[in-house]
A = this chain, B = another copy of it.
Amino acid sequence: MFSNENGVKKNSCVFGYKHALLHRHRHYEDENEWGCGSWLEYTLVVVLASILLLGSLGLTLFWVIQYQGGFAWREDPSKEFNLHPVLMVAGFITFSGFSILLYRICRCCRRIYVKLLHTVFHALAIPCVAVGFLAVLDSHNLKQPAIPNFYSLHSWIGLVTMGLFAIQFVVGFFSFLVLLCCEGATAGFRAALVPIHASFGLTTFMLAIAAAVTGLTEKVMFTLGNTYSEWPEQGIVVNALAMVLIALGILVSFAVRSPTLSADTKLLVTERL
């Protein structure tokens, strides 16, 4: 699994190797060292993840428009609510998912561009999450009688997810972009933060999925009640949407941890056999 990096011989020592890895730019000839299996795995993950990430958003839109009456703003609180699932899936799943994946498996661009794209995709998620959050609060408060907020476990999980997302964004932005202004002095700190940021990033994505599936369970039970068990069309659509989200959870965590998929992991973690 060790590739011939620029200026690093195979018999150089661990410390020189690691040092060189930290300070090098990627070179396109690296790609040639990938075997056919790795390329197949890479293409399969990219294609499947794109289909599922866009599919989850498409399926949410289809469910909301087809079975829940579409969208409105404050003039119709029930339809205003419908903005909530669509915007939350767009922000927490589609944008965040693409952001995680492209950061991890983008093999064609320089590091700083990938970092900026990673930030932009996550930044795009922010207005979605903010408006999605306001939409549900608004629709609850405007209903006659008003629906209480923050009592259900879906809302508690959602709040934890939003909190972790915000911390990740702020810490990531300052640590990996702003601190670049004094690159040398902060390299050690940034290196130590990378596995923590990566671990909590994936955890936030999994929490978003947990929040989504509890929200879907709540909504489908409020809407369908006992008829849910009679396999109505809407129930199947919501279940299918949940399964797409679960498949995404499996695929993204596999892609993030797979040593063969990453463009940057040249030293394998030695784990117990």
Contact = CB atoms under 8 A, between A and B. Distances in A.
B242 A273 contact: no
A124 interface: no
A183 to B, nearest CB: 9
Interface string A9-30: 0111111011001100000000
A194 B271 CA distance: 7
Contacts of A214: 213-214, 217, 242
When all copies of this chain in the complex are counted, the total is 2
A181 to B, nearest CB: 14
Contacts of A153: 213, 216-217, 220, 238-239, 242-243
SS of A interface (majority): helix
A207 B222 CA distance: 24
Contacts of A200: 250, 254
Interface string A166-185: 00000000001000000000
A74 interface: no
A194 B268 CA distance: 11
A267 B1 CA distance: 13
A246 B210 contact: yes
A228 interface: yes
B221 A218 contact: yes
B11 A13 contact: yes
A32 interface: no
A157 interface: yes
A209 interface: yes
